[in-house]
Each structure stands twice: as C-alpha cells, then as structure tokens.
Amino acid sequence: MTNDNRQQGDSIDLDRLADVFRARIAELIYSVWRLQGHRDGNNFVCPNPLRADRHAGSFRIGLAGKYQGMVTDFAGEAIPGTGKMSVSCLSFHIVLMHAADKNAGVRWGKDWAGLTGKAPDSLKRSREALAAFDDRPQESDEDIKKKRGRSQRIYLDKTLPWANTPAQYYYAGRGIDLTRLPAVPHAPRFKEKCFCGELGKPGTDEAAYLPAIVLPYVSMDGVHLAVHRTYLERTADGRWIKAGCIKKPKRSYGSYAGGFIPLWAGTRALKRTGEIVYAQSLGKAEGPVRVHLVEGPEDGWSVALAYPDERVHAAGSISNMGGLAYPEKVTEIVIWKQADAPGSQADQTFRRAVKNFKDQGKRVLIADVTSVAPGAKDANDVLKGGM
C-alpha cells in the first residue's frame, strides 16, 4: 500500500505542475524550448524537435482553447517510442529538456513554476496564468454528453457483478471481504476486457484490453458522470493484483469534478417494522445525513467494513474533495486522512478540502489513520493490520 500512497501523493503534485505548464505554455514554447514556428489559430506549429521532421504542419502545440498545452503529432508519435499521438506538455518537456529524466524534469519544473519558494515572481505568474487557464473555453455540452454516455457504457456493457470474479479476488488480496457487509454492494462491477489507451487503439489491438474493476462517479443528484477503472492482472501463483504492465493501473474516464463514487449507502431501519435494510441513495435519503469520505475505493471499502451502518463515498482524489458541494441534508462529513507528510502538497490540498466543507456549514471530523495504527498509510493499511 505504500506504493499506492506514493502514487496518489505524486499525482497531486504532478497534476498541479501539469496545469501550470499548460497555463504557461506560451512561455515554455518561446522562452524555454525556443521552438521556431508560427501560430495557426489556437495552435503553435513547428517541426517536431524529437524526430527528423523537416516540415512544419503535422506537429502542433495547443496555445489556447480546450486543448491548450496538449502536444500532438498527427504524422506519428509526439514522443517517439511512446505510441502516443498526443501527450501533455509536461511529458514533452521532460523528454525534450531533460533526456526523459522524470525526476530532473519535475524538479526543474517546480522551481520554474515557483512551487518550491525559489522564485516568488514566477509563482505569481503561475497563479495569474492558472486563473486565466480556468476560464479557457471548455468542452461543449455535446462533448460532455458523449463522454458521459461512453463512460456509462464502459461501466455497464459486458460487465458482471463483482461476486465470484477477479474483482472479488483482488479485493480479498487487499484484506477486503465484501461478503461480510450486511447487504450486497452494487457499485463494483467486473469487466473482462476493458480498453486501456496506454496499450493501443480501440477495436484493433487485442492487447489493449485488460480485465478491470469498474466503478461509477455520480453527481450529487445521482447523474452518471464518469467511470473509475482498476486494471488487473493475474500472477503466476494465481493472485489478482493491479496490472503492472501499465504506468497507471487506476484511471478515470470522463470528468468527475464535483462527483463521487457511491461505494456504500450504509443501513437504515424501516419505520413501520424496525427491520434493518440497505440504506437509500443520497438523493432519496432523508436528513440529517453523515458521509464518510475517502480518496480511493480500497480505503472506502475498508471503512465500510469497519462501519457497515455508515455511508461511504470515494472522491477519487484529494483535489476533487475540495470541489465537492454536498446538499444541505448532509450535515456531517468524516474525512479519512492518509499519512501525508505535514506541509506537503497533499497535506495542503487536504486542508483546503476541510475548509471547503466547513465553509458549507458542515460538521467536519478527521479520521487520522496514524492515530489508530502508527505507521499505517491509509484505512486499508489499518484493515490489513487488524486481520
């Protein structure tokens, strides 16, 4: 689980840095990369400096619009050897300026962006650029609708309930026995062949399809927003683990900003009979409502097993927590804090999430796993330690 936390913490830093790079893309092109080319609408056009490209035209970098900061080579690969036509400007920078040394590229990028305190003026420029970046043209309603439709198909088409599938076996390997819950959870489903863009093209490359656990992101009123995928592989001794053949075995498709994964609704007592049954969805539940909020699914299932009467949501990331706006009937939120280093970017983002809920008038409780089990990184570590 240590690697999971490292990846999540790193992803928060890298996501922020990637946004700064996209927001300040013009500075990178002209002052850092010093590319020779011209502007064509929202794009900067020049020969691809990473290959023997003699003519400008197919290689483009988004200067504005919804593709701002995206580096695309329509004639082949934006970065030779990756198999990708489009990459982020941060990935491109690391290869172009740092010989693919990711650590060196990220260190330089943080310094340049002003994120390490070494360049206060640059930090000011980054903040101003990010403000403008947030106001850039977004996806059209039609684009969003198409993505939501596709993500829902990923979640529902040719999928199975989790029981007696590799989804159950993977969770069991993490100490998570969903059969111990008082009702059958509906959210996780298993997809035997789920497309992974890192491995090839859809419909043509059989190797681009992996088994995966799929989970839905929904809005506060229950509308499907996106899909979360955990890609799996089977080891030689028969265990199911996260796929090691890809860089990011956990991925989301579609924008889930402002939404959550409804892992477990808890239980409720029927007024007429007193019978204990599975609780209603958030949209149908009567207030006051308490929510346990975690980052990822494994943490969420661990909390649900420890507190089966409670409602558990996964935000997908700490940064998304900071943008959640729960309805008035949600009066109390228990946030499960991972063991992020004090003062780290993850810790600062967590504090902003706490402030977000307090500003909404919610009662906020923080469940710090280190106070329960010293050395634990998250709720799943606590669960496994208690087995």
What's the order of all strands across the beta sheet hosting 86-88? Answer: 38-40, 43-45, 59-62, 70-73, 86-88
State what percent of residues in the chain have pLDDT above 70.
Answer: 94
Q: In the structure, what pLDDT confidence band is assigned to residue 293 with cuts at 50, 70 and 90?
A: very high
pLDDT of residue 197: 86
For the stretch 245-283, pLDDT in tens is: 998 899 999 888 889 999 999 988 787 887 877 888 998
Single-letter amino acid, residue 37: G
**What sign has the CA pseudo-torsion 124, 128, 129, 131?**
positive
Q: The tokens of 328 are what?
A: 């008035």
- Is pLDDT at 4 greater than 50 in this prediction? no
For the stretch 45-55, pLDDT in tens is: 899 999 988 77
194 Cβ contact list (under 8 Å, min separation 6): 154, 209, 210, 211, 212, 214, 229, 231
- CA–CA separation, 259 and 315 (whole Å): 7
As a whole number, mean pLDDT of residues 160-168 equals 97
**Which value, in Å, is the radius of gyration of the alpha carbons in the chain?**
22
pLDDT of residue 136: 62
